[in-house]
Structure 1
Amino acid sequence: MDNHFDVIVLGTGLTESITAAALSKAGFKVAHIDPNPYYGADQASLSLDELAQWEENHSATNHGELPPHARQYSVSLAPSVIPSIGPFISSLIASGVSRYGSFKLLGRVVIYDGGVLKDVPQSKDDIFQNKAMSLLEKRRVTRFLMFAAGEFENREELHGQENSPLLDFLQKTFLLSGATARAIAYALGYCYFPSETTLPALHRIRTYLKASGRYGSSSFLIGYYGGSGEIAQGFCRASAVSGGVYILGRPITSIASVEPGEPEHPVLTSDLPQFVVELDDFPDRLHCRCLISSTALLPGHLRTRADIIRPTILSCSSLRPFAMARCIAIIDGPITLSSDTEGSGMSEASDSSLLVFPPESLEGGSATSAVHVVTAGPGTMSAPSGKGILYISMPLPSNSDHSAETLLRPYLTTVLSLLQSEKQQKTLIRSTFYMQELVSCTPGTSDSFVGLLAVPSLSPHPTQGIDEAAIVAEATFRKAETCLNGERKELCSEGCEQIGFWPLLAEIEDSEGNDLQW
């Protein structure tokens, strides 16, 4: 095979896959490599057979036997939901990758409050149909939502409060009750911790309020067949269609930088340093002018000399978790969460939902972290008929001495009890507990390699992580393009537009609603 490439991308996580697709569509010669035998890296979607093999190579604890038809399940290692408006949806449509996947509206968002589940109002109509709030509280919530949906940056209410905890801001500035403030902070702003600051959360809330009604009543979509891993594979397919070369299941044995013009490495006539990648049980050395890698796959001596892509993201949480404790539970029985909220306008049965446990909401649970539970079932093509999947995740602000099972078992027990009904009992078939380590990044040194780009771990945030992936991917594409083409001179006249992120699809009509498959 021809082993000379413009770009080598290491890792098939969502960010790397979006980047590879964009570079391939822009005409660059791309090789995309992953030591795993599957796409998606830490966001992969796996069958239960594949999950069992994955558990053998990771510090995971499982209980229960594999159920029959294990290959009919598609489980995600890092589940997320997709805001209906945002950079990821834009990339999904502009790239054409929406044709490779299918999506549906997320059924419900509910919060665990006082031992019961309550629907979270997502619109003005939902608020005034809700009988659990007083009229005065409804007016205060409506006033806040009108503030959050607008241009709040220069509003008097926010002045001097940008870095105060959101919970304090809601109660002091808008006089909301503690219960309502918690619902907004954790199930509309999706804060992880009580100390998260106001401005980033407001940016998230504004995005979700604008997304409501885009494709239906929910602000979020959920992907079929496991979500993020299936979507990453779609971007890999787009790269392959444009000429990208894929090599999976080959561990990386060596990554080295070489000076251009060395007789042993006559790669390309370029003034840039070049890189050589060697793979286990693979006959050819692979050469490139630009190397893009997840931080997890870069050796330490190269990680410190890489240009780490860190664009400013206004909706970024003020506190980033150290790790994520995760649980995947397979349930015998359909998953439909009951609610005590009458007249909420959101009583439709759905097996896809997002359940939020605020800090201190559960006896024996966490006092410092919000816990999210994503449910999926046959409606998302993730499980056979009559079965369901629970994804439970807890962000950890620092290293923990407790296992994932110790941290999450109380939440699994509670969710199972909430799912029980007189007509049909649900039983736990199998559960897997594991820690997802988030590789830390150190800023590049002054002698960093030109053309060596490191992509940080995908944000584990259940609602904004997928948008951050698209933002980081575009920033990585721009840097790689600059490395490969050099600093372009301003040859065009004033008003000339910058080359698009998806340049080969510039003539696509603006028909976003028709491109998504349902």
Structure 2
Amino acid sequence: MSKSISSITAAMDNHFDVIVLGTGLTESITAAALSKAGFKVAHIDPNPYYGADEASLSLDELAQWVDHHKEDNYSVTHYGELPPHARQYSVSLAPSVIPSIGPFISSLIASGVSRYGSFKLLGRVVIYDGGILKDVPQSKDDIFQSKAMSLLEKRRVTRFLMFAGGEFENSKELHGQENSPLLDFLQKKFLLSEATARAITYALGYCYFVSETTLPALHRIRDYLKASGRYGSSSFLVGYYGGSGEIAQGFCRAAAVSGGVYILGRSVTRVVSVDPVEPEYSVLTSDLPRFAVEVDDFPDRLHCRCLISSATLLPGHLRTLADIIRPSISSCSSPRPFATARCIAIVDGPINLLSDTENSGTSEASDSSLLVFPPGSLEEGSAISTVHVMTTGPGTMSAPSGKGILYISMPLRSNSIHSAETLLRPYLAAVLLLFRTEEQQKTLICSTFYMQELASSTASNSDSLAGLLAVPSLSPHTTQGVDEAAIVAEATFRKAAASLNGERQEHFNQGCKQDGFWPSLAEIQGGESNDMQW
């Protein structure tokens, strides 16, 4: 009798409510929410680190990542030797900033994960215009302090910001213009100069392409205007130690504290849907479809009622049967790029952007900034894509003192015949030239170029398996990506909970008593010890 009970207990140890494949930001938020709601979660990633394609890596880890991906679709090239103290660097594979108001910051606070990390305000946002850098006004105060605009232009910009910050959906200005390019809308309806319209389009609305339409961009602008002033003059925060990857790890730790089981550095060799009436699975009583997951170097299968996977890790035979989770807010409705060309460059010397203005409201000293190259602004650059250059350094614990990190990204609407290096090398040269002064000249220590393709996913169909959920690749949008991750994570959480509700209805109601995505902060603080601190 004792042997029989022992066998059942051993089998139950391999059975979970949910198995999550991939520790990207979206998957990590989902795993933390499900675990905090009381579900038994196993989280698996073939990489030995958290964060998947958004990971934060030291330079020696980045070198290993380069060697591993040289043969796949990342088209990686690397130049230069690793500097001393390579482990003191923390670089992000998918850098982004965090809007001070939005779904992601709400999840950070409500989940309690904000307590485990550190953040600071993004310093300056500047735009490359005619070979020089111009600060982009982020508020009314910035506008009136600017010396780059005439009084008439300041009034027109102020009128537009009042329009964009309000309820514009049914306004006469927007009527019939929702699908026109934002750049044309600004010049036609608000009579803004081309230079000002470009600054608003690409460095306030953060449009990636020339043809991006007005309505989604206006929603983004309104969100960012509301975010300004919550924590300071900037609308955005920057995470320490590389950003998104470190935050993903924070959500994974939160899931682990609530009972989540983590398996890193082990590949999933097989995923199958199983028949619950088979004798092998008699320990399961749910009438929902189940899944069995085989993990490399694990003797036994892992079983679950619900399987959540990043689109890149889900086997092909299941991908077309999965329910694809998609973002559902208007500011995320712009066309998703096919891929993103990226560059990480390590610079010898602190990064301080020169400006043509003396008294900018955003000129507060910071080594974290965002430089925007609009389409067509660089002679050898792209005529259709915006290029973002994000800078970080010792101020976010991302590099040792006296060093700086440049992240350059270019979205691509379709497959490119050019490598990431070919596309981004002119921008790297231009940025290094901008940093040079008579007293100081920046030296490039090393650089890595790579292409990140976004996993394509077919639309969900009526034959999708209940409990099989696929999470799309994280949006590469520098300012919008983390909010999309939070939105998709919440939708995934709710669908997973619904698929588990059958016999687990009472348990779920006890674990998630309110309609909110997260338990209350009082419950979190009462149920977690101080061991959760970083």
TM-score normalized by structure 1? Answer: 0.95
2:483 equivalent to 1:483? no
Aligned counterpart in structure 2 of residue 398 of structure 1, from 407, 414, 422: 414
Which range moved further: 165-174 or 312-321? 312-321
Name the CA distance, whole Å, in 2 between partners of 1:129 and 1:241: 49
Q: Give the structure 1 partner of residue 207 of structure 2.
A: 191
Name the CA distance, whole Å, in 2 between partners of 1:267 and 1:444: 31
Aligned counterpart in structure 2 of residue 26 of structure 1, from 33, 37, 40: 37
Q: 1:6 to 1:163 in 2, by over 3 A?
A: same
Name the CA distance, whole Å, in 1 between partners of 2:282 and 2:407: 49
Deviation string, structure 1 residues 163-193 (Cα, Å, up to 9, x no partner): 1110111010101111100000000000000
2:308 equivalent to 1:292? yes
Q: Give the structure 2 partner of residue 261 of structure 1.
A: 277
Aligned counterpart in structure 1 of residue 320 of structure 2, from 304, 314, 320: 304
Answer whether contact 1:105 1:218 (CA < 8 A) is retained.
yes
Name the CA distance, whole Å, in 2 between partners of 1:280 and 1:328: 32
What SS class does the counterpart of residue 411 from structure 2 fall into? strand
Name the CA distance, whole Å, in 2 between partners of 1:269 and 1:497: 25
Q: Give the structure 2 partner of residue 158 of structure 1.
A: 174
Q: Give the structure 2 partner of residue 57 of structure 1.
A: 68
Q: Give the structure 2 partner of residue 95 of structure 1.
A: 111
Name the CA distance, whole Å, in 2 between partners of 1:311 and 1:380: 29
What SS class does the counterpart of residue 332 from structure 2 fall into? coil
Q: 1:83 to 1:407 in 2, by over 3 A?
A: same
Shift of 1:497: 8.4
Unaligned runs of 5+ in 1: 491-495, 510-516
Q: 1:506 to 1:301 in 2, by over 3 A?
A: farther
Deviation string, structure 1 residues 211-255 (Cα, Å, up to 9, x no partner): 000000000000000000000000000000000000000011000
2:90 equivalent to 1:74? yes
> How many aligned positions are there?
506
Answer whether contact 1:325 1:394 (CA < 8 A) is retained.
yes
Which range moved further: 304-313 or 390-399? 304-313
Which range moved further: 205-214 or 341-350? 341-350
What SS class does the counterpart of residue 169 from structure 1 fall into? helix
Shift of 1:341: 1.7
2:267 equivalent to 1:251? yes
For residues 70-469 of structure 1, the aligned pairs below 5 Å read 70-469=86-485
What SS class does the counterpart of residue 429 from structure 2 fall into? helix
Shift of 1:310: 1.4
What SS class does the counterpart of residue 297 from structure 1 fall into? coil
What SS class does the counterpart of residue 432 from structure 1 fall into? strand
Name the CA distance, whole Å, in 2 between partners of 1:40 and 1:185: 31
Structure 2 counterpart of 1:38, which letter? Y
Name the CA distance, whole Å, in 1 between partners of 2:115 and 2:364: 28
For residues 500-515 of structure 1, the aligned pairs below 5 Å read 500-503=516-519, 505=521
Shift of 1:500: 1.9
Name the CA distance, whole Å, in 1 between partners of 2:288 and 2:54: 33
Shift of 1:20: 0.2
Answer whether contact 2:286 2:503 (CA < 8 A) is retained.
no
Answer whether contact 1:191 1:317 (CA < 8 A) is retained.
no
Which range moved further: 353-362 or 481-490? 481-490
Answer whether contact 2:110 2:520 (CA < 8 A) is retained.
no
Deviation string, structure 1 residues 362-392 (Cα, Å, up to 9, x no partner): 0100001000000000000000000000000
Name the CA distance, whole Å, in 2 between partners of 1:19 and 1:70: 32
Shift of 1:506: 6.0
Name the CA distance, whole Å, in 1 between partners of 2:212 and 2:504: 41
Percent identity between the two aligned chains: 85
Aligned counterpart in structure 2 of residue 17 of structure 1, from 13, 24, 28: 28
Name the CA distance, whole Å, in 1 between partners of 2:293 and 2:286: 18
Aligned counterpart in structure 2 of residue 44 of structure 1, from 28, 46, 55: 55
Structure 1 counterpart of 2:270, which letter? S
Name the CA distance, whole Å, in 2 between partners of 1:28 and 1:35: 23
Name the CA distance, whole Å, in 2 between partners of 1:507 and 1:393: 40
Name the CA distance, whole Å, in 1 between partners of 2:333 and 2:464: 28
Name the CA distance, whole Å, in 2 between partners of 1:46 and 1:459: 20
Name the CA distance, whole Å, in 1 between partners of 2:298 and 2:504: 37
Q: Give the structure 1 partner of residue 530 of structure 2.
A: none
Q: Give the structure 1 partner of residue 17 of structure 2.
A: 6
Q: 1:503 to 1:486 in 2, by over 3 A?
A: farther
Structure 2 counterpart of 1:297, which letter? L
Answer whether contact 1:6 1:289 (CA < 8 A) is retained.
yes
What SS class does the counterpart of residue 31 from structure 2 fall into? helix
Shift of 1:423: 1.6
Structure 1 counterpart of 2:108, which letter? L
Let me know the Cα RMSD of the aligned residues.
1.8
Name the CA distance, whole Å, in 1 between partners of 2:367 and 2:327: 36
Structure 2 counterpart of 1:397, which letter? R
Answer whether contact 1:267 1:288 (CA < 8 A) is retained.
no
Structure 2 counterpart of 1:32, which letter? H
What SS class does the counterpart of residue 89 from structure 1 fall into? helix
Unaligned runs of 5+ in 2: 1-9, 70-74, 507-511, 526-532
Structure 1 counterpart of 2:60, which letter? D
Deviation string, structure 1 residues 470-501 (Cα, Å, up to 9, x no partner): 000000000000000139999xxxxx985321
